[in-house]
Amino acid sequence: MDWDNARVFLAIHRIGTLRGAAEQLQIDQATVGRRLSAMEKALDARLFLRTPAGYVATPAGELAVSAAERMEQGAEQLVRQTQGIDERLCGTVKVASTDTSARYFLIPAMQKLHAEHPAIRVVLNTAKQYANMTRREADLAVRSQRPTSPDLISRHLARQELGMYASKAYLKAHGEPEPGSGMRGHDVVIYQRTVVQHSNTAICGESFCNARVAMEVMSGLMMIEAIRAGLGIGELPLHLGDQEPQLKRIWPQRSEPYDMWLVLHGDLNRTARVRAVADAIIAAYQPS
């Protein structure tokens, strides 16, 4: 099985369309079609059925998926292990994080890194979905969840805390909520269910069952903007909320701790450019 054809086949299988596969692989759609035809001709089997919902694997296609994924794993391992002995302080490093971590920690860290190692190019991904590090969607990631995969190395960056915040204008108009009232008579801003790892029925352990949900957001930066605009009470990391002069922390005795982790694949641990980026991120999380 030809690897170039196999990786196109896997992209079609995962995305469901020729166009989507072409965009992911950064090749034209006609090439995707030719690669698929070549693979089907080589295997003498039809691998997909074309349906209104997209391309669906046939029984032969399902068998091909397992073989193609084994090829993919071998190719990716070869790339990681080869890069793992690279001692050059140049090249590309892909970093994944949330937008708030990027704004308040990673951007300042990368500013210092660039001054010292200008030949290192950082590709920053702040998408909501976790990047797949085995498939090299990221070389490094900053996460609030410690990974369980034995292939990944994690370094504890910091223990941080969440607190309850509202704009001063909101509190002037509505006052503070009563503890144990379920935020009765108040508006709240919460994260969408697809974003949070924990229950989104409470803010810092306080139920908001009697509150009006004014807005659901997808990112930390949008949470800050919504609270600053006076849309309601929300949950923010203390190091972010305390920097906002328009906001006031509610119930300072109430907080929720969480940990931040730096994650990288074990095969890249000795790559010079990856280590340089990792060290810059670690330094950014150290107390000043």
Q: What is the pLDDT of residue 198?
A: 59
d(CA 98, CA 141) in angstroms, rounded, equals 9
| Domain 3-83 shares a fold with domain 91-157+259-284 | no
Least confident of 64-73, 135-144, 170-179, 242-251: 64-73
pTM above 0.85, yes or no: no
CB 174 within 8 A of CB 186: yes
Which pLDDT score is estimated for 272?
86
**Residue 261 half-sphere exposure toward CB, CA atoms < 13 A:** 14
Structure tokens at 91: 């090249």
Q: Radius of gyration of the chain from Cα atoms?
A: 23
Distance CA 188, CA 174 (A): 12
- pLDDT tens per residue, range 258-269: 999 999 988 777
Higher pLDDT, 84 or 183: 183
Give me the pLDDT at residue 121, please: 95
DSSP state of 104: I
pLDDT at 267: 75
Amino acid at 132: N
pLDDT tens-digit profile of 56-108?
A: 989 888 888 888 888 777 766 666 556 555 578 888 999 999 999 999 999 99
Q: Which CATH architecture has domain 159-257?
A: 3-Layer(aba) Sandwich (3.40)
- pLDDT single digits (tens) 103-143: 999 999 999 999 999 999 999 999 877 777 767 788 999 99
| Structural domain spans, the chain | 3-83, 91-157+259-284, 159-257
Q: How many residues does the chain have?
A: 288
Please tell me the predicted confidence (pLDDT) of residue 110.
96
User: Could you tell me the two tokens for 48?
Assistant: 């997909």
Does CATH number 1.10.1370.40 belong to domain 3-83? no
What is the CATH architecture of 91-157+259-284? Answer: 3-Layer(aba) Sandwich (3.40)
Angle at CA 284, nearest 5°, toward 93 and 275? 35
Which stretch of 54-63, 109-118, 165-174, 246-255 has the lowest confidence by average pLDDT?
54-63
